[in-house]
Amino acid sequence: MSIPYEAGGRTRQKQRTRDTLVAAARELVAAGVTPTVEQAAAAAEVSRPTAYRYFPNQRALLAAAHPETAASSLLPADPPADAADRLAAVLDAFTALIIETEDQQRTMLRLSLEAAPAERAALPLRQGRAIAWIEEALEPLRDQLPERSVHQLAIAIRSAVGIEALTWLTDVAKLPQPEAVRLMKWSAQSLLHAALVGSPPPVGDDQSGGGRRPRSD
């Protein structure tokens, strides 16, 4: 009997090592570099093989090291009642957040693309907190649109204002960053507008291929 080292026994050591490792990597990431496993291990005063004992590869370590944004809401203290105004407020905060951490966001995006499909699901990468933030902004729509449509709209909006869109707008379309941000915000508001006065976004159950053209006549 006497299951040894369980919960509070020896395992505390493991947790400590892991935390040290993540903290060290996090510091390096925050400093703007993409640390080598060896660098992260050295910074944590741990050997390289040990680092690999905790993380199967560099991707996993960097993923664990990336800064969390724990904010549960991006709305101001006294949020407006109008959906468009709420969305504007959330997008101001969200785009500011993206831009502040653009390098890290790009790294996360790159890591998620490097991972094989199977691994992709396992990585805690790309958590999609933004959807909840946007849905909260769209709260007032719940009595005009079915919940599924609101959710779908939030997804559509997020896909238009994320780091992926920003990357494309600046790198490929060569827009200066402020202009790219302005365009993303315009897109987001346009989607909201279209969902209200045109056709709502297609939801999963809808097999009709709907949304080919928002009803505008």
Partner DNA sequence: GAGTTCCTGAGACTGATGTCTCAACACGAG
Partner DNA sequence: CTCGTGTTGAGACATCAGTCTCAGGAACTC
Interface residues with a copy of itself (CB under 8 A) are 84-85, 88, 106, 109-110, 112-114, 120, 126-128, 131, 152, 155-156, 158-160, 162, 164-165, 167-169, 171-173, 175-176, 179, 182-187, 189-191, 193-199, 201-202, 204, 209-214, 216
Q: How far is the CB of 162 from a copy of itself (least distance, A)?
A: 6
Q: How far is the CB of 20 from a copy of itself (least distance, A)?
A: 29
Q: How far is the CB of 108 from DNA (least distance, A)?
A: 16
Q: How far is the CB of 175 from DNA (least distance, A)?
A: 29
Residue 211, classified by CB atoms within 10 Å of its CB into exposed (0-12), middle (13-18) or buried (19+), is middle
Residue 146, both tokens: 């079915």
Q: How far apart are the first and last CA of the chain?
A: 76
CA distance 165 to 171: 10
Figure out which of the listed residues 22, 24, 29, 58 binds DNA, where binding follows CB under 7 A.
Answer: 58
Burial 149-178 (b: 16+ CB within 10 A, else e): bbbbbbbbbbebbbbebbbebbeeeebeee
Q: How far is CA 86 from CA 4, 162, 189, in A?
A: 54, 18, 11
- Selection from DNA, a copy of itself, none that 37 binds (CB < 5 to 8 A by kind) is DNA
Q: How far is CA 80 from CA 34, 61, 111, 194, in A?
A: 40, 40, 37, 21
Closer residue to a copy of itself, CB minimum distance, 42 or 109: 109
CB 188 within 8 A of CB 85: no
**How many residues make contact with DNA (CB under 7 A)?**
26
Task: Reduce the DSSP state of residue 200 to 3 states and report it.
Answer: coil
| Tokens 């379309």, residue located | 173
With CB under 7 A as the contact rule, which of the stretches 41-49, 104-112, 168-176, 195-203 interacts with DNA? Answer: 41-49
Q: How far is the CB of 57 from a copy of itself (least distance, A)?
A: 16
Q: How far is the CB of 22 from a copy of itself (least distance, A)?
A: 22
CB 52 within 8 A of CB 81: no
CB 156 within 8 A of CB 194: no
- Selection from a copy of itself, DNA, none that 129 binds (CB < 5 to 8 A by kind) is none
Asked if residue 73 binds DNA (CB under 7 A), the reply is no
- Residue ranges that bind DNA, judged by CB under 7 A: 1-2, 4-5, 9-11, 13-14, 16-17, 36-38, 45-50, 52-53, 56-59
